[in-house]
Structure 1
Amino acid sequence: MEDYLEKIYELMHEKGYARVSDIASSLDVQPSSVTKMLQKLDENHYVTYEKYRGILLTARGQRLGKLMKERHHMLEEFLRMLGVSEETIHKDVEGIEHHVSPHTLQCLQALVLFFDDHPESLNDLHAYTEQFEMGSPTDTEGKSV
């Protein structure tokens, strides 16, 4: 459900509208699956959906769609900061975003903001990661950990 709301929110901001066919191709699902989900989203007051007429996000759907998009972006940024390859980021974010508690997401957001405000700490993390990948990391006194 969250993937659909995120995609509808994204399409509405990019194109000004979202169609069943656009959602289906973006999420790589059948149009019939999109229609079923739109009916559920309508029942739960996230969208207003009328077959052949269009899709509108309700205020509730707008808020949740925006939250899903922001969460997705934050997780992408976090993985980029860690040096994860771009081709891996998309796959990993899709797996992470639906299996992490809201509290953990808040903590990750705080870490992303911390690294944005303290780039020297991010540089230290990258240096540490390089050491780790080359062998065992060392503590601050040069001893192996």
Structure 2
Amino acid sequence: MEDDKAAPPAGDAMREAARHASARSARASALLHDYVELIADLLEGTGEARPTDIARRLGVSHATAIKAIARLKREGLAHSKPYRGVFLTAEGQALAAEVKARHRVVVDVLLALGVPAEVAEMDAEGIEHHVSEATLAAFERFLGRPRTPG
């Protein structure tokens, strides 16, 4: 018995592959953004961001945190000092500020829609990395805010 489904046209397959590649890239970027944002928060709150604290706060193993920190260093977003933990470069600090601003906009939209604060914070963590610049600008218009650079 032959399968009645025909293979999708090549253009459709390529578009689908591009969507999946884009989603994988977004997930990888989201992880980096989470690390940069957390490191900035730890530095602001305690003056240091140790791999142990990063792993604990993100709920990952120490080895996973070390790998992510190494990637941040390779990408020029962080550096470390012996016995002092992880610090953000100027580029890492700028990215952290941008990620925090995106997070705040998404939280504020959810709050404006009546989502409870605790739920809005949790949901924003998943949404903020996948919102396009166009959608973020629309959120800011909805909130009556001028567009922030980023």
TM-score of the aligned structures, taking structure 1 as reference length: 0.71
Aligned counterpart for 1:34 among listed residues 53, 62, 65: 65
The alpha-carbon deviation at position 90 of structure 1 amounts to: 2.7
Aligned to 1:122: none
**Structure 2 residue identity aligned to 1:48:** H
Aligned counterpart for 1:73 among listed residues 92, 104, 108: 104
* Number of aligned residues: 114
CA distance in 2, matches of 1:77, 1:51: 39
Percent identity, aligned pairs only, is 38
Aligned to 2:34: 3
Describe the shift of the 1:112–1:85 C-alpha distance in structure 2 as closer, same or farther (beyond 3 A). Answer: same
Where does structure 2 lack aligned partners over 5 or more consecutive residues?
1-31, 146-150
TM-score of the aligned structures, taking structure 2 as reference length: 0.69
The alignment yields a C-alpha RMSD, in angstroms, of: 1.6
Aligned counterpart for 1:62 among listed residues 93, 101, 108: 93
- Is 2:117 the partner of 1:86? yes
Q: Contact between 2:48 and 2:84, CA under 8 Å: does it hold in 1?
A: no
The alpha-carbon deviation at position 18 of structure 1 amounts to: 0.9
Where does structure 1 lack aligned partners over 5 or more consecutive residues?
115-145
Aligned counterpart for 2:45 among listed residues 8, 11, 14: 14
Higher relative contact order (CA 8 A, sep 6+): 2
